[in-house]
Chains A and B, each alone.
Chain A
Amino acid sequence: MHFDLEDSRSLPQIVQMLRHLPTEAEPPIRWKEFKRRQLLRRTRARSAQRRQFALAAAVGVVMIGTMALWKHLPPLQDPSAQRSSATTLPMTRRPVVPIAWDEAAVRSVASERWLAAQPEEPAIVRVGTRAAVMTLEDRIAWADDTLTAMRAKGGEADRARALQYERDRLVNSLAQVRFAETLAADLP
């Protein structure tokens, strides 16, 4: 469909030509191919939806786990009371055994050494465990700051000792979470 150059400048004529353009074109796919693609897209959409649900469920489980862990962390109190309550983190299924003050301190030193040997970030960063790690790190940092301030001020030996005990427990918990991350990263 071509215009005569002499009369080609009139807009109504151009519009008229537009209206006379072919109104049908060969579809890019036949019915069978269309049905095949339709099925393929539906299957993909369903599996994507399932993946989203699974991801949401996993995030929910991790969050609940983190909250449970957080709730089970003992409040700041006297180490003798800690020993009597004999609570441990729910991360391990070992029988609950009260940890002696010195034993906790020794384990804390070992945990700190092990943590220092770990890379800053795990090979695979998981949102749930990352949140737990950051929370624990924040609490350890807070305990460090408070301990430094208490030592500078002097006195309050009992409180400092309780705080030190709490810090050691936090370091141990952090080591457990990081260890779990390391194991998970090695899984196929």
Chain B
Amino acid sequence: MAKLVQIGVAAELLAQACRGDEHAESEIYAAVAPATFALIRRLVGAGTQAEDVFQDTMMSFYERLPTFRGEAPLGAWLRQIAISKCLMYLRSPWQRARVQLEATEGTDFAELDYRSHTAPAAECFDVEHALASLPPTARAVVWLFEVEGYSHDEIGRAFGRTASFSKSQLARAHHRLRAWFEPAVEPPACTSI
């Protein structure tokens, strides 16, 4: 399985797609769509939001394709578009309101107290679930820093904040991830005297 940043396509295919050849466009789609969607799902979370962001990303990708200069692999260029779309979504007032609403109603899985699971199922230890349990911003920061190799400065800029924002989000995310994998400690039983 290739990472999005490593995916490249033949120059001839790219040229055909730039000329509007639908067959070439569909081949490029087949090559880049799985990795793009995987990245978007990591940043935005699963669900219809990820599908919407994916659609937006791919539309922008095909619109801007004629401007691609080939200085980096096509996947790296597409990754920039995808990350930018994801961050735009995460920064949107609608998304913030949705997160707040979920937090208020207590329905968000991410906001649940993960330590309170007395008998966690085996899949709860899955790193996927651990990642999904993070709040959207923290999840995006941890993924961009640890996996995509972004620096704190770059993340801060991408969110329209400072590097300190990225550092604090990452520290909190690490804390949560560690806590997720720690089994809940049962309080010692009281001994009657």
Contact = CB atoms under 8 A, between A and B. Distances in A.
Contacts of A28: 37, 50-51, 54
A26 B142 CA distance: 23
Interface stretch (A31-39, A79-87, A157-165): A31-39
B147 A27 contact: no
A37 B146 contact: no
Contacts of B54: 27-29
A26 B147 CA distance: 20
Contacts of B2: 23-24
A17 interface: yes
Interface of B, secondary structure class, is helix
Interface stretch (A1-9, A114-122, A141-149): A1-9
A41 B1 CA distance: 31
Contacts of A21: 42, 127-128, 131, 147
B99 interface: no
A155 interface: no
A5 B51 contact: no
Interface residues of B, number: 42
A23 B37 CA distance: 9
A185 interface: no
A149 to B, nearest CB: 51
A98 to B, nearest CB: 60
Contact of B177 (A11, A19, A26, A41): A11
Contact of B29 (A1, A17, A34, A41): A34
Interface in B137-191: 142-143, 146-147, 174, 177-178, 181-183
Interface of B: 1-4, 22, 25-26, 29-30, 33-39, 41-42, 50-51, 54-55, 58-59, 62, 122, 125-128, 130-131, 142-143, 146-147, 174, 177-178, 181-183
17 contacts: A5-B125, A8-B182, A11-B177, A11-B178, A14-B178, A18-B142, A18-B147, A22-B1, A24-B37, A26-B34, A28-B51, A28-B54, A29-B55, A38-B55, A38-B59, A38-B62, A41-B59
Given A8-B125, A9-B181, A22-B1, 18 more contacts: A1-B128, A2-B126, A3-B127, A8-B182, A11-B174, A14-B181, A15-B146, A18-B143, A19-B146, A23-B4, A23-B38, A24-B1, A24-B37, A25-B38, A26-B37, A28-B37, A37-B55, A38-B62
Interface of A: 1-3, 5, 8-9, 11, 14-15, 17-19, 21-29, 31, 34-35, 37-38, 41
